[in-house]
Each structure stands twice: as structure tokens, then as C-alpha cells.
Structure 1
Amino acid sequence: MHYTGTVYRNPYEPPSPLLEITQGCSHNRCKFCNMYAGVKFQPSPMEWIEEDIKEIAAFYPETSRLQLLSADPFVLGFDRLNEICDLIHKYLPNIEIMTMAARVDNIKDKSVEELKILRDKGIVELNIGAESADDETLKSVNKGYSGQDILEQCEKLDKAGMEYWLTFLNGVGGVDHTENHALNSAKIFSEANPTVVGTGGLVLFEGTGLLALYKRGKFHPLSEKGLMEELKLFLENLDHDGRFITHHTFSMDLNNGSFNENKERILKDLQYGIDNFDMSRLTQIRNSKRTL
């Protein structure tokens, strides 16, 4: 198998083979991320992709599911993705579900009709790292799109019948943007139609722009209690019928199959954490993390 740089498997998806179709991240300029530092973005050669599909077919001939890599493989144009789908079905005829990570702007160059074709060929779900829907927060960390862009592109996915996750990066706006980050993200996420809303807490990893700004006194991260309070504000204002999940970089496991049905309990549990948890210990745990 051809794997380049960091390999990230979504831990919340059912186990499935991993097929790399791009290398690195097409943007690679977000100030909170170091996952693909030093990895040049480029599409994987079709020869490599075909070799890897054949290898998967040799070991998992009956698999019905694939996770496509790397950071945002949906950046590939429709024609290339369509060709890859056909190649996958040639060697893996039982494939029904293909998932992958995507940036919001990966969707812009694809029409609703093209999205429908890709969905019908098995690309049924995208994991979108929105991180925020507050324009000032998005600008401050160089995400490269706006809250309105999130709505517009997710509307295209809805029309095409393609499901998607949206992530909220708790704390990414720091102290300066915390309220707007929470409220505006909740507003946009509620207006969209994600099947899953996920959240993790910001970690200032080595080599990131936010860590550099923090060291110069130009970024003021939230305390552990502040992270919980920001998430509580976000969740209080979120209207979401699907799943809600928390990643390992958040200090509590609030995972639930139906957010709206369990919203009151989730908020109650979160408030208990705010009132009773040992914040100094949680801070030590966060500071010890080195990777997602």
C-alpha cells in the first residue's frame, strides 16, 4: 500500500480498508494544525491507486466499505473522482460505502448533478472539518472560507443526498472570539443538515501558527474550564437531530446517538464537569498530547 506521511483513520467509522488517493493537504495553512507539515500536496498517481485497490481486493475481496485518504481527497475534480470510483468497483464489486474527509471549498467546483453521480457510485458521506462558522474566527486561523460558504456548500450536499459530518473545534478562537465562535457556529450548524456534529478541544501542537502566536502573547487560549463553558454555550444554541460526538482532545465523553433527544442530559453532564472536575489535572493531560 502507498501511504504518504500521516495516516488518519476516523475512529468513529466502522473498520474498513484505507485507500490513499491524495497526499497531504491541499490547504495546509490552518494555524492550529501540524498534521501534514512537510508533506507536499499532490494527487496520488492512478497507477498507485490501482495497485492499492488490487491489494485490498486480495485481502478483503468482500469488503463493502472504504475510507479514502488523505487530508481532503474530495479536492480532486469530478472527473478524477469518477474515474477512481469506477476503478474501485472494477476490483471491489461489493463496495457500497466510501467516506472521506473534505474541506468546505472542496465542494465548490462540483455541481449538484455531479455530486449525485458520486453519491450513486458510493461516495455517500463526507467528514467536513469546518472547525467554526464564525467569520472572524475562521479568518484568524486561516481556514480559507466563511460561514456562508459552509451553508451554501452543505446545501448542495443536501440536494445531492450526500451525508456529512461537521466539526466544531472548541477553543480555536481563543479568549478573544469565544462567544462569537460558539454562537455563530451553533447558528450555522443548526441551519445545515449534518448527520453528525463532532467536537474536540484545541491543543497547541508544536509547529503550529497558534502556538507561535501564543508564545508571542498574541493568542490567548481558553482554560480547561473556559473550553467547557464555550462548548456549553455552543450546545445550548445548537438544534441538531443527528449524532453528537466528542473527540479525545475534549475532557469529557458526551457521545450520544441523538443530540436533540438528549440535549438536556448532555448539558447537565457538562455543567457537572464545569462545577466539579479537577481543572489543573485536565490541563496537564491536554498539555501532554502530541497528536490528534
Structure 2
Amino acid sequence: MRYEAPLYRPPSEAQSLIIQATIGCSHSACTFCSMYKNKRFRVRSLDEICEDIRWAREKYGMVQRIFLADGDALAMETDELLSVLRELSVAFPQAERVSVYAGPQNILAKTHRELVAIRQAGVRLAYFGLESGDAHVLQAVNKGATTEEMVEAAGRVRAAGIELSATVILGLGGKERTREHALYTAEVVSCINPEYLGALTLMVEKSTPLAAKIACGEFVLLSPREVLLELRMMLEGLQVQHCLFRSNHASNYFAAGGLLPRDKARLLAETDRILNDERLLKSEHFRGL
């Protein structure tokens, strides 16, 4: 298998076969992210991708789950992506699903018919980096999409029958926007109503534009306690149906999870328990990306 490092995948794809269909991120301009900064975005040749798929079939045999890397496989032309998915279907007919990272602009560039064809060809889950529902925060971090575009993109994915796993980043508004970030994010997530919701906590790497803002005092990070208060505010405001929530990413100060709305009261109680005994928080040394 030919991988161009670094290679990233969601925590839930730890046991998945990873096929690198694109290199880098088609946006790669978010001020908080350094994941693909050393890569120039490009789509790999169809021949190379198919060779990797056939190699994986010979090497691994049966595969249940497949993740198409890097940052946004939906940036591929639809015909090429469908060719990759057909090759995967031939090589791994027993696979349960194919999943992808999906950026808002690349979703919006696809028609409903294209997204339905992509779902019918095997893509069952899209990981969607919402990050925030606060328009001010989205603009400040150069996400490349408005809240309205986020809602529209998520709606298109779900309308095509593809499950949505949305991600939000606690602390992304800093001290100045923590309340707005929590409340507006809860509002947008409630509107999107994803099947899955994951919460990460902001971790700043030195090479990012956000780090420069912190250095000059323009952006003030939240304390661990303030992060939990933000999470509590967001959870309290969520009005979703049958949404599996997780905060088990390595960046978080504590891990929690449950089905919303069924487990909302328990999740709020767990958060309160941590707030009342901050010794239960994960040490900064054990956090990671």
C-alpha cells in the first residue's frame, strides 16, 4: 500500500482499510488546523488508487469497513469517485460501508443525483467538520463556509441517504465567544440533526495562524473548566433525535458518550460531577490530536 504521510482518520475508523484517494485537503486554510499543511492538494490517479485496492484485496482478504482519505474524497470528480467505489465493491463485496471526510463546499458542488449515486455505490457515512455554529467563529477561523452553507450541505448529505457524523470543536471561540459558540453550535446541530456528533477540544499547534493570534493576545484559550462549562451549555441546548454523542477524542479533558436525547440528563450530571471535582480531568500531558 502506498501512503503519503501523514495519514489521518477518525477514531471510529481505527480498524478500517484506508485508501488514499486524494492527497491533502482541498480547503487547507482553517487557522486552527495543520493536518495537511505540508501537502499540496491533488487527486491521485485512478490507476494508482485501483492498484492499491487490488493490493489490499490480496494482502488483507475480507474487509468490513473502508475509509477514503485524505481530507475530502468528495473533491474528486463524481465519475472518478464512482469508479473507485465500483472497484472497492468488486474487491470487497462483503464490506459494510465506505466512509469519507466531507467538506461543505465539496458537498455543495455535487447535485442531489450525484450524492445519491455515491451513496448507492457504497458511501454510507460522511464525517462533517462543522466546528462551530457561530457565524463569527466560522469566519474568524477561515472555515470557508457560512452557517447557512453548513446547514445546507449537511441537509444534502442526509437527503441522499448518507449518514452524517458531525464534529464540533470546544473552545474554538476562545473566551470572547464561548457563550455564542456553545449556544449557536447547539442550534445548528439541532437543525442538522446528525446521526452522530463528536466533540473535540481545541489544541493549538505552533505552526498555525491561530497560534500567532494567541501569542499576541488576540485569542485567549479556555481553561479546562471553561471547556467543560461550554460543553455543558452546548449539551443543554441540543434538541436532536436519536443522535449518538461522543467526546472520546484524545484532545478532550474527559470522555463521555450517550444517545441523545435519551441520555442528556446523565451526560449533564457527569459533566457536573467533573466540574465539582476537577481532579477527574485528564492531565494536559495525556491529551493529543
Give TM-score, length-normalised by structure 2. 0.94
Equivalent pairs counted in the alignment come to: 287
What residue in structure 2 maps to residue 254 of structure 1?
256
Give the 5 Å matches for 1:173-184: 173-184=173-184
Residue in structure 2 matched with residue 8 of structure 1 by the alignment: 8
Query: 2:85 aligned with 1:85, yes or no?
Result: yes
Q: Distance between the aligned counterparts of 1:72 and 1:168, measured in 2? A: 17
Residue 288 of structure 1 and its aligned partner are, at CA, apart by 6.6
Report deviation, 1:9: 2.6
More off after superposition, 247-256 vs 165-174:
247-256
Cα distance change on mapping 1:182 and 1:46 into 2, 3 Å: same
What secondary structure is seen at the aligned counterpart in 2 of 1:271? helix
Rate the CA distance shift 1:248–1:14 in 2: closer, same or farther, 3 A.
Answer: closer
How many angstroms does 1:78 deviate by?
A: 1.4
**What does residue 55 of structure 1 align with?**
55
For residues 68 and 212 of structure 2, what CA distance do their matches in structure 1 show? Answer: 32
Give the secondary-structure state (helix, strand or coil) at the position aligned to 2:266: helix
Kept after mapping to 2: 8 A contact 1:77/1:109:
no
Matched AA of 2:12: Y
Deviations 1:50-102 (A, max 9, x none): 11001111023322421111111222121221121122223333334100111
Answer yes or no: is the 8 Å Cα contact 2:46–2:80 preserved in 1.
Answer: no
Unpaired runs of 5+ residues, structure 1, are none
Paired with 2:286 and 2:172, the residues of 1 have a C-alpha distance of 18
Aligned-partner SS, 2:149: helix
Q: Give the superposition deviation at 1:111.
A: 1.2
Look up the equivalent residue of 1:250 and give its one-letter code.
N
1:65 and 1:97 in contact (8 A); partners too: yes
C-alpha contact (below 8 Å) 1:72/1:102 kept by paired residues:
yes
SS of equivalent residue, structure 1 residue 107: helix
Instruction: State percent identity of aligned pairs.
Output: 29
Q: Distance in 2 between matches of 1:201 and 1:37?
A: 20
CA distance in structure 2 between the partners assigned to 1:42 and 1:158 by the alignment: 27
CA contact (8 A) 1:5 1:36 kept: no
Q: TM-score, normalising length from structure 1?
A: 0.93
